[in-house]
Amino acid sequence: MDKRPESMKRIDNAELALAFIDEQIAAIREQVGDKKVLLALSGGVDSSVVAALLIKAIGKNLVCVHVNHGLLRKGEPEQVIEVFRNQMDANLVYVDAVDRFLDKLAGVTDPETKRKIIGAEFIRVFEEEARKLSDIEFLAQGTIYPDILESKGVKAHHNVGGLPEDLKFKLVEPVKLLFKDEVRVVGKALGLPDNMVFRQPFPGPGLGVRCTGAITRDRLEAVRESDAILREEFAKNGLAGKVWQYFTVIPDLKSVGVSYEGERTFGYPVIIRAVNTVDAMTATVEEVPYSLLNKITDRIVKEVEGVNRVLFDLTPKPTGTIEWE
C-alpha cells in the first residue's frame, strides 16, 4: 500500500509516535520473521529512524552498512558508530571507502558527472558488502511519503535502486507513509539524539558538491572544518533550529592575502550560504547578524588551514540554486 489513508492521523506528538512505533514493530516482525534485513545507514534522519525501528523489532537480524565516502560532515561517521553500535548494540558494518571515492573523483570537474560517480560507487560498495553476507532476504529503506509522491524527481535518494538483478531483495519501508516532520517526531520518541533527528537537509553527494570543480583533499578538509565551525556558531547563537539550510562552499580558486605575521598568502575563500525555504524550489537568504558573521569569519580564517577569505552569499533562489553545484 503506497497511498496514505485519509483516516491516518498526522503524527505530531509522542503518544501517536509511540503507537506508530508499536504498530511498525509488529508489522516488521510479521513481514520478516526470523530472516535477516540489510540497511544502508547514512546517519540521516530517515535511515536512522528506520534502523532504530528495526533494531527494536529484530535486533541483530538487522545488518546496517554505513559507507563512509569521505564526503560526510565532520563527526558524522563517528556518531553513527557511537549511536548505533555502542548505544543500540546494532549489527553495524562500517566501510571506510574514503580513498576509493576520492580516487574515482580525482580530476572530475562536471557536477553531474561527480554526482553520477558518487551514486554509482555507493551502489558498488554496498553491493560488495551485501555479497559478503549470506541469507539476506530483505532490504530496508528510509523511503518517506514525499519520495513516493515525487518519485519521478531526480533527487530521490532514499534507495539503493540499481543493485544487480540477483541482489533484488524484498523491501521493508516502515516510514514510507510519513512526512518528514512525522519521521522526526518518531525519531525523537525512539530516543535518537536531537542533532540526528533535527538535522538540516544534506544532499546525497554530500560535501562533494560543496567543494566545486575537481575535489581535492585539502579543499575537502577545509570545507568540512569550516562547515563544522558554521554549524557550531549557528547552534550557539540560536540559529540552528531556525534557518532551513546553512553550509559552506569552497570554490576552485585562490586569491592573494596576507597573514597575521605580514606574509603574503595564496589561499582559498570560504563562502557561507544560509537560506530559508518551504519546498526548496525558491529560497530567501537569512539575515545573519553582522557580528556573528564577523565572529565566524575570524574563526574560519584562524582555524581552517589554507583559507584566507570568507564571503557571504547574498543570492536568493532564483537566481542562485541552494547548492553551488
> Which residues of the shown chain bind ligand XMP in the complex (CB under 6 A)?
115, 155, 157, 201, 203-205, 245, 280, 317, 321-323
CA distance from start to end of the chain: 36
Nearest 5°: the CA angle 296, 321, 267 is 40
**Residue reference for cell 558488502:** 129
**Dihedral class, residue 238 (left if φ above 0, else alpha if ψ from -120 to 50, else beta):** left
Annotate 6-41 with DSSP letters as a single string. Answer: TTPPP--SHHHHHHHHHHHHHHHHHHHTT-EEEEE-
Q: Which is nearer to ligand XMP, 43 or 205 (CB)?
A: 205
Closest contact distance (angstroms) between CB of 323 and ligand XMP is 3
Closest contact distance (angstroms) between CB of 208 and ligand XMP is 9
Q: Which is nearer to ligand XMP, 274 or 301 (CB)?
A: 274
Annotate 88-124 with DSSP letters as a single string. Answer: T--EEEEEE-HHHHHHHHTT---HHHHHHHHHHHHHH
Q: Which is nearer to ligand XMP, 212 or 245 (CB)?
A: 245
The DSSP symbol for 208 reads: G
Closest contact distance (angstroms) between CB of 255 and ligand XMP is 25
Closest contact distance (angstroms) between CB of 277 and ligand XMP is 8
Determine the number of helices (DSSP H) and then strands (DSSP E) in the chain: 10, 10
Closest contact distance (angstroms) between CB of 165 and ligand XMP is 25
Q: Which is nearer to ligand XMP, 113 or 321 (CB)?
A: 321
Closest contact distance (angstroms) between CB of 100 and ligand XMP is 20
Nearest 5°: the CA angle 61, 67, 69 is 175
Q: Which is nearer to ligand XMP, 221 or 323 (CB)?
A: 323
Q: Which is nearer to ligand XMP, 17 or 250 (CB)?
A: 250
Q: Which is nearer to ligand XMP, 87 or 315 (CB)?
A: 315
CB contact set of 123 (below 8 Å; sequence gap of 6+): 160, 162, 163
Closest contact distance (angstroms) between CB of 160 and ligand XMP is 14
> Rounded to whole angstroms, how far apart are CA atoms 172 and 218?
40
> Rounded to whole angstroms, how far apart are CA atoms 141 and 156?
12
